[in-house]
Amino acid sequence: MNATTNATTNETTNETTNPTVVTRSMTAHERAVSAMYGREAKRWSALRARMGQKDYSTWGFWSDDTADMNQACDTMIREIAAAAAISPGHRVLDVGCGAGASTMDLARLTHARELVGIDITHELLVHASAATEREGLAGVRFERMSATQLIFADQVFDRVIAVDCASHFDPRDGFFAEAARVLRPGGRAVLLDLVLGGPPVTLADKALMKLLLEGWRLPKANCYDATAYAERVAAAGFREVVVRDVSERVLPGATRHMLSESYQRAFVAVFGGARAAMWRLVLRAIARAQRAGLVKFILVTAERP
């Protein structure tokens, strides 16, 4: 194992092959999130392969004529790339990249000079690195690190992207500050994220939200609405913060797809019948929370002065 120092980082890393493993210990919350995604990474990848899907751990953008999850995720990443206005000369940081589908798609769509995907889950990064090598994508690499303690020098990226992941970061405010730090003046952040909607009123809705927030491993510090989100992004040093509510394009279509007969049949084949029954309950609970306005998805753009 060779000790190397990356040109964009401040700290020494332990590197074998891609992905780089950064020598900084994780918090208890980060270990829990990493374990949640890591312990079943292979099975989720197997499910998506069985369905002919890209390895996205997200919901996508749906409309009435969206055919499948691939089309939903393609629509989502194209809109994110357009909002980011990435040019071929840009250096882009994809935070919470998971198995690398977003990073690789951004590379194909934008031809950015460099795409760096980071995540805290080793198993997902191994998959991402292998997929990138198979496809021969140049200028794409992956590193394991915390989104709230980015081990990069100041002002080294032109764009920061975070696709449906920042709700996990403890605290999310720490990520906002780090994103502002590593962006060059005039740089842009584009964030697709989960926020709270209106407060639950009934006992049933309160119980539902408690279960969902614990299941999603959302820190209490991140439990706020879209207005507070915009205020916190601005407080981290951004300007021109624009928040779009995209809730109706995310969960309704995604949950319908995941409750479909073909998806459930594939899910049973990979995870088994008992787990499939539990997942159906979770999906219906998520759909109910969205219909009640208890959770929302927002697409945020913000400029670094």
What is the Cα–Cα distance from 2 to 224, expressed in whole angstroms?
43
User: Measuring CA to CA, which residue among 165, 82, 162 is closest to residue 116?
Assistant: 162
Q: Which residues of 95-133 are buried (b: 16+ CB within 10 A; e: fewer)?
A: bbbbbbbbbbbbbeebebebbbbbbbbebbbbbbbebbe
Q: Tens of pLDDT along 101-145?
A: 999 999 999 999 999 999 999 999 999 999 999 999 999 999 999
HSE-up of 237 (CA within 13 Å, CB side)? 19
Helices 69-84 and 101-110: angle between axes, nearest 10 degrees: 60
Split at pLDDT 50, 70, 90, the class of 303 is very high
The pLDDT of residue 18:
56
CA pseudo-torsion sign 82, 87, 92, 98: positive
CATH architecture group of domain 2-303: 3-Layer(aba) Sandwich (3.40)
The pLDDT of residue 22:
56
The pLDDT of residue 23:
44
What pTM was computed for the model? Answer: 0.91
CA pseudo-torsion sign 260, 263, 265, 267: negative
What is the Cα–Cα distance from 55 to 96, expressed in whole angstroms?
13
CA-atom Rg of the chain in angstroms: 19
Type of residue at 83: A
Q: Secondary structure of the chain: what % helix, strand, coil (to 5)?
A: 45, 20, 30
187 near 301, Cβ under 8 Å?
no
What is the Cα–Cα distance from 144 to 16, expressed in whole angstroms?
13
Split at pLDDT 50, 70, 90, the class of 100 is very high
Which letter does DSSP use for residue 25 in this model?
Answer: P
Q: Tens of pLDDT along 7-21?
A: 344 443 433 345 665
**Domain segments of the chain as ranges:** 2-303
Q: Tens of pLDDT along 214-266?
A: 888 899 999 999 999 999 999 999 999 999 999 999 999 999 999 999 999 99
